[in-house]
Structure 1
Amino acid sequence: MTLNHPSFTILDGGMGRLLERLGAPFRLPEWSALSLIEAPDYVTQAHQAYVDSGADIITTNSYGLVPHMLGEKRFAAEGRALADRAGRLARAVADAAGRRVLVAGSLPPPFESYRPERFHADGAPRIIASLVAGLRPHVDLWLIETQSSTAEGLTALSAVIGDGKPVFVSYTLKDEDGRTGPAELRSGEPVDEAVRKTLAAGAGGVFFNCSQPEVMGEAVRIARRTVNEAGASAAIGVYANAFAPEPPSDTPYAGISDIRADLDPANYLKWIESWLGDGACVVGGCCGIGPEHIDAIRTLREVRKAP
């Protein structure tokens, strides 16, 4: 199965904020998982909105299906079944699309987003295995998302690398306001090292997500150069968030982040064009990027294809 569209592939946008806009049940710490539990029809609506907007890939609503968001008791009792539900909902929308739409199985950080120091290699496989078991029958590819370190990313990669489905690892980058210096994962690892390790472990490509758009371009350029130097054909993807800059906090899920007013579809599209020029071949959006942004990306592709 090839991922790449003849020009570029369009990934969907964020799930949590779209569910909130649709009126779905929404609170912390469950985040997007709450709709899956209490009102799954909203999840179907969200997937359909992205298909209608032109997404080539929709992502399962499984990001919140981890113990620190569901609670350990609910995860143990319902985690696999909820992952199965997430996969079924996405698969049904993709199959009814009337065109080729792929389903990406989202594998999130098993402990906490943006916190590489909280990753525990011994405990991660149990959490990942539950998600994989529920999602596997329904997905076309694996998208290991918002990984803050290669230890996180490669642990998840090892759980799915042999099952015959393409696997893509997406890293989140240091993006504090006014940041200067080389592109790094949130762990401090240089992007080029992360790309080399990830490709060597068998990934079909390296993406960058859930960081501010300002830090994405350098990472894409480094990744493209690293892929080219390796003589590989790996995909490079990017999907930024629209969060306003905020100081680090020691309190997990202290509140719902504000969304930047300057990342409307027209302005976000400028970033998309820049990333495509930098060497990305898969583009979409993360938190706060919605169907209207994806529709703008589809229009860009149609314009590029026009004679």
Structure 2
Amino acid sequence: MKILDGGVGRELERRGAPFRQPEWSALALWEAPEIVKQVHIDFIQAGAEVITTNNYAVVPFHIGQERFEQDARQLISTAVQQAKLAVQDTQKNTLIAGCIPPLFGSYRADLFDQNHVSEIALPIIETLSPDVDLWLAETQSCLQEVEMVHALVPKDHRLYWVSFTLQDNINLAQSHLRSGETLAEAAVLLKKLNIDAVLFNCCQPEVILQAIHEIKQLVPHIQIGAYANAFAPQDETATANDGLDDVRADLDPNMYLNFAKQWQHAGASLIGGCCGISPAHIKQLSSHLKE
């Protein structure tokens, strides 16, 4: 069982770090990297055993093509350095996961362009590679993108985790990615690529339990994880960059722990939080799920 961190971007916003559309969490890498480090530290002190580099928004979708070409490597280097400094300052054996974000925007499988995968993914991978302990492809909803990016990552000893974002519809008979692709289709790819762990993130906690049960049947021996967001359900029109979504008032650390206990009981062994999940939530997970 490993405890992951929570949502760095919304934690930056909550603390008054520079945070606006369209740059989101990338803006703090320019203007307030010390706050990025402090957020990492607070998650580690809350019990996170894995933290993820804060380069999720360092893609053209958020910072623009010109700025990406000019500044991406420096921004990503800043992100990984702040994670390393946080681990050093806390003197913990915390693992650093290298964030591979959705290259064309969260939930936007419709914007996937196979002709531009390498030019976006390689600066991310090459800059992170010397300093990360494992890879985490986050908020994935396009299976072709997952496969193409995986082919670009160094094939060495490091673990490779893929985290899918699910449709926020508790009435579906089967879980679906935001693209509409099924977990059965995802399972074929996970086996083909020999992925080390499959996780579910950036969707409401109510839809994750069903997905865990499904993937456990489809890929019995894979490690499973979950880190939900604290947003209200995002339907098929959601783009994750139209505005600052409200955080649910009901999803306090105790309620989130109740969901996490269900995930753990169903077989998840990598549990943390996504957007809106704070160090207080992670502390609650660490205190109870590690027992």
Matched residue, 2:225: 237
For 1:249 and 1:217, locate their aligned partners in 2 and report how far apart those are by CA, in whole Å. Answer: 23
1:218 to 1:135, Cα distance in 2 relative to 1, 3 A: same
Q: CA deviation at 1:202?
A: 2.5
Matched residue, 1:3: none
Q: CA deviation at 1:169?
A: 0.7
3-state SS, counterpart of residue 224 of structure 2: strand
Matched residue, 1:280: 268
Matched residue, 2:54: 61
Tell me the alpha carbon deviations over residues 216-237 of structure 1, each in whole angstroms, 9 at most, x when there is no partner.
0111111122222xxx3x2111
Whether the 8 Å contact between 1:160 and 1:167 is mirrored in structure 2 is no
Letter in 2 for 1:300: H
For 2:172 and 2:126, locate their aligned partners in 1 and report how far apart those are by CA, in whole Å. Answer: 41
Matched residue, 1:198: 190
For 2:286 and 2:239, locate their aligned partners in 1 and report how far apart those are by CA, in whole Å. Answer: 38
1:216 aligns with 2:216: no
Q: Percent identity?
A: 42
Q: CA deviation at 1:180?
A: 2.4
For 1:280 and 1:246, locate their aligned partners in 2 and report how far apart those are by CA, in whole Å. Answer: 23
1:250 to 1:204, Cα distance in 2 relative to 1, 3 A: closer
Whether the 8 Å contact between 2:261 and 2:289 is mirrored in structure 1 is no
3-state SS, counterpart of residue 21 of structure 2: coil
Matched residue, 1:30: 23
Structure 2: tracts of 5 or more residues without a match: none
Matched residue, 1:5: none
Matched residue, 1:16: 9
Whether the 8 Å contact between 2:247 and 2:276 is mirrored in structure 1 is yes
1:98 aligns with 2:91: yes
1:299 aligns with 2:255: no
Q: CA deviation at 1:301?
A: 3.0
Describe how 1:64-103 pairs up with structure 2 within 5 A: 64-103=57-96
Describe how 1:252-291 pairs up with structure 2 within 5 A: 253-291=241-279
Q: 1:119 aligns with which of 98, 112, 135?
A: 112
Matched residue, 2:171: 179
Q: CA deviation at 1:179?
A: 3.3
Aligned positions, number: 291
When structure 1 is superposed on structure 2, of 157-166 and 109-118 the one drifting more is: 157-166
Tell me the alpha carbon deviations over residues 31-67 of structure 1, each in whole angstroms, 9 at most, x when there is no partner.
0000011110110011001001000000000100001
For 1:273 and 1:200, locate their aligned partners in 2 and report how far apart those are by CA, in whole Å. Answer: 30
Whether the 8 Å contact between 1:161 and 1:202 is mirrored in structure 2 is no
For 1:186 and 1:71, locate their aligned partners in 2 and report how far apart those are by CA, in whole Å. Answer: 23
For 2:17 and 2:288, locate their aligned partners in 1 and report how far apart those are by CA, in whole Å. Answer: 30
The TM-score, its normalising length taken from structure 1, stands at: 0.91
Structure 1: tracts of 5 or more residues without a match: 1-7
1:252 to 1:269, Cα distance in 2 relative to 1, 3 A: closer
Describe how 1:117-156 pairs up with structure 2 within 5 A: 117-156=110-149
Tell me the alpha carbon deviations over residues 177-225 of structure 1, each in whole angstroms, 9 at most, x when there is no partner.
x532211111222113202312321211111100111110111111122
For 1:245 and 1:251, locate their aligned partners in 2 and report how far apart those are by CA, in whole Å. Answer: 12
Q: CA deviation at 1:84?
A: 1.1
The TM-score, its normalising length taken from structure 2, stands at: 0.96
For 1:9 and 1:274, locate their aligned partners in 2 and report how far apart those are by CA, in whole Å. Answer: 15
